Amino acid sequence: MYNDLKRHDRIKLKIFVRDDIWDRVTEGGFTEASHITKTTNISWSHENLVNLFVRRLLNNSSVIEYYNLESESIVDDFDKQIDLLKRIFPDKVETGNNPETFRWMTNRIQDGSGKSAPRELIHLSEMIRQQQVNRIERGEEEPDGDLLFERSVFKPALREVSKVRYEQTFKAENASLSEYTDQLKGQKSEQTIDTLSNLWGTSPIEATSIVDRLVKAGFFERRDVKGEVTYWVPFIYRDALDLVQGKAVS
């Protein structure tokens, strides 16, 4: 179809494929890939996600009126976009040595590849808004000053996003792996080949093969600290499986 449409001057076909799906399609060889002669990779940095979020926010006339904003000047100035985030969000979700709120959001939606997707950011934003609306409808205190959101609404919102990401995306796309990830429910968030082998009832060799597939699928992040290799479950999947912070011991 791609080749057939190339002969038309006024019709252009664009195919958008996630990196992990493209890797799956081309695994083992895909000769037809040579027909696709012009490609580009779309990556979402933290700054790109800030810009995406602010642009969506500026489509809300109530927000513009409430803060007396000039949309064009904010879109053209990244520093003003950061300033706007500071006006609507509390400084941090978690106190102590933790990132500021929007960085916390993008960190929490990363998968094992370290990538944050706009889909999860938008979903998290919607859930944060819903949690805040629920607080107001219950008659609880409204946020201080100009803030739109209380600190307490972020973690419950993340739980909802985690469940949807795990059930409707990860399990739907990795049905053969979900029988192993389901067994992690209530376990520690950092595992080794030995602990996973014991949990799954497999040999270390079999466990390694399964883990390699889970790393490729973005469920695990492989970490090597002073020669010790462990497998860390990113935050986006932890609430869905009720994982406990810490490292499992065999």
Please say which residue of 113, 144, 172 terminates a domain. Answer: 172
> Which domain range does residue 186 map to?
179-247
161 and 221 fall within a common domain: no
Contacts of 130 (CB under 8 A, 6+ apart): 157
168 and 191 fall within a common domain: no
Given a cut of 70, is residue 37 above it in pLDDT?
no
Among 36, 45, 4, residue whose Cα is nearest residue 17: 36
Q: Following CA atoms 192, 195, 197, 198 in sequence, which dihedral angle do they give, to the nearest 10 degrees?
A: 180
* Residue 213, in any domain of the structure: yes
Given a cut of 70, is residue 246 above it in pLDDT?
yes
Please say which residue of 142, 172, 202 terminates a domain. Answer: 172
Give CA angle at 84 (80, 87), nearest 5°: 140
Q: What is the pLDDT of residues 199-225, one digit of tens each?
A: 999 999 999 999 999 999 999 999 998
134 and 191 fall within a common domain: no
* Residue 146, in any domain of the structure: yes
* Residue 81, in any domain of the structure: yes
* Residue 85, in any domain of the structure: yes
115 and 192 fall within a common domain: no
φ, ψ for residue 156, nearest 5 deg: -60, -35
58 and 145 fall within a common domain: yes
pLDDT at position 77 is: 96
* Residue 40, in any domain of the structure: no
Q: What is the pLDDT of residues 14-32, one digit of tens each?
A: 888 877 777 777 777 776 6
164 and 117 fall within a common domain: yes
Give CA angle at 71 (55, 117), nearest 5°: 10
How many other CB atoms sit within 10 Å of the CB of residue 49? 20
* Residue 89, in any domain of the structure: yes
59 and 126 fall within a common domain: yes
Contacts of 194 (CB under 8 A, 6+ apart): 204, 250
Domain of 211: which CATH number? 1.10.10.10
* Residue 241, in any domain of the structure: yes
50 and 168 fall within a common domain: yes
Say how many domains are in the chain.
3
89 and 164 fall within a common domain: yes
CA pair distance 36, 31, nearest whole angstrom? 10
Token pair of 89 as six digits: 């969000």
pLDDT at position 232 is: 97
* Residue 41, in any domain of the structure: no
This prediction has a pTM of: 0.85
φ, ψ for residue 142, nearest 5 deg: -85, 160
Please say which residue of 155, 172, 189 terminates a domain. Answer: 172
Q: What is the pLDDT of residues 59-102, one digit of tens each?
A: 999 999 999 999 999 999 999 999 999 999 999 999 888 899 99
